[in-house]
Amino acid sequence: MDASLHGKRILIYSHDSFGLGHLRRCRAIAHALVDHFAGLRVLIVSGSPIIGSFDFKSRVDFVRIPGVVKLRGGDYTSLSDHIDLSQTLRLRSSILDQTAKTFSPDLFLVDKEPLGLKGEVIATLKRLKDGGVSTVLGLRDILDDPVILRKEWDKRGTPRDLEKLYSELWVFGTPSMGNPLAELGVSRESFDRMVYTGYLRRSVPDIAKAPVSLPEDPFLLVTPGGGGDGETLVDWVLSALEQKPRPSKSVVIVMGPFMAQAVRHRFQRRAAVLADVQMITFNANMEILMDRADGIVAMGGYNTFCEILSFNKRALLIPRSTPRMEQTLRAHRAASLGLVSMLNGDGDRSPDAMAKALIHLERQSVPFNHGADQFLDGLEVICNRVKTLIAPSEEAHQGTG
């Protein structure tokens, strides 16, 4: 274990509205950092309402800020009915800034949103950067349709000269999947600070708790991520399983913690009369299920895609196209590279189309056959960049000798 960053501190901002994506990505990065660097401490500031359901390694902790919910139209509302959005945002910004002052980080990593949710990170970001703290913007491989996103950036006042706020821009993906900042009018200086890390390799953690009674034989895993927008996927899969022919393997469906209770109950009643179909509401250690599964059916969010590549699993993606095109763009690009297959959720939604896709999945090629094993250096690259940005210089060592 590298002791060069002993005593150093990293603060991660994860705005988290409705879903698991930001939190799970930040948690993976935090765990990799404390595994690599002895004595390094990481603190995650998150708005996730279920962050307490996850296990965290020693020297990783979190502060939860008041939650918000992203509506289908793209706007936000407070998770608490008795506090309006403006009050919630002021609370979030105040807690974030006070946390940064008290924690006094050596590096500040902002996940995805350059200015934070509705600008809530601006004051903290500027103060830390002016104080000599390394600041990093972490970006998914794909953000959204650039035409739509550019309009949003104009409305929010998101700067194109991101180098004024950030020491580096990390893209958690590979150039073969595209440039998430392309066509957004970002300055050449900002592009010069961009580092493609590769995807974040996942593994079954030592602290993981196994879910109960998984099938002993190989099974297909169906996962809509957080589940808040996964009703279409689960309904379509169940419709295919309710007819013949159907896949020969057992099926495990994880509905997600944000799926509406009434919808979950309806799906559970349908699954109860089907042979070899098991329903799970939520498990915080999806890596166990991914590792055990023979094939994956998913919507195509970032973390699920990392797991598909990491565990070298056959995968069928059925991406959503609203409110963002992120999943659709990722699925199309990944399919063009031979990494996954996909069904267009806006196309033929018949049970027969899904049944044929599930049967095809059982004989599909695995991602490593198409070079995916070369895409998974993200956590190692991040550790190297962190060390470069905040490791004490030789002159500092000599001055304290």
For residues 61 and 180, membership in a common domain is answered with yes
Number of structural domains, the chain? 2
For residues 187 and 243, membership in a common domain is answered with no
In a domain, 25, yes or no: yes
For residues 353 and 388, membership in a common domain is answered with no
For residues 229 and 243, membership in a common domain is answered with yes
In a domain, 207, yes or no: no
In a domain, 214, yes or no: no
The pair phi, psi for residue 21, each rounded to 5°, is -60, -55
For residues 179 and 264, membership in a common domain is answered with no
Residue 20 has pLDDT above 80, yes or no: no
Residue of higher predicted confidence among 18 and 275: 275
- Reported as a pLDDT band with limits 50, 70 and 90, residue 395 is very low
pLDDT for 237-293, tens place per residue?
A: 999 999 888 888 899 999 988 898 999 999 999 999 999 999 999 887 888 899 999
- Residue range of the domain that includes 239: 219-374
Residue 72 has pLDDT above 70, yes or no: no
Residue 93 has pLDDT above 60, yes or no: yes
In a domain, 211, yes or no: no
DSSP sequence for 258-280:
TS-HHHHHHHHHHHHTSTTEEEE
Burial of 4 (0-12, 13-18, 19+ CB in 10 A): middle
Residue 86: predicted pLDDT: 83
Residue 82 has pLDDT above 90, yes or no: no
In a domain, 361, yes or no: yes
Residue of higher predicted confidence among 229 and 330: 330
Burial of 256 (0-12, 13-18, 19+ CB in 10 A): buried
For residues 65 and 152, membership in a common domain is answered with yes
In a domain, 208, yes or no: no
In a domain, 1, yes or no: no
Residue 355 has pLDDT above 50, yes or no: yes
For residues 386 and 362, membership in a common domain is answered with no
Lowest mean pLDDT among 115-129, 221-235, 300-314: 221-235
For residues 384 and 341, membership in a common domain is answered with no
pLDDT for 186-221, tens place per residue?
A: 999 999 999 999 999 999 877 655 556 788 888 999
Residue 248: predicted pLDDT: 83
**CATH number of the domain within which 392 lies:** 3.40.50.2000
pLDDT for 151-173, tens place per residue?
A: 999 998 999 999 999 999 999 99
Residue of higher predicted confidence among 126 and 66: 126
Task: Report the C-alpha gap between 130 and 128 in whole angstroms.
Answer: 5
In a domain, 353, yes or no: yes
Residue of higher predicted confidence among 75 and 149: 149
pTM for the predicted model, two decimal places: 0.91
Residue 214: predicted pLDDT: 84
- Reported as a pLDDT band with limits 50, 70 and 90, residue 394 is very low
pLDDT, averaged across the chain: 89
For residues 330 and 302, membership in a common domain is answered with yes
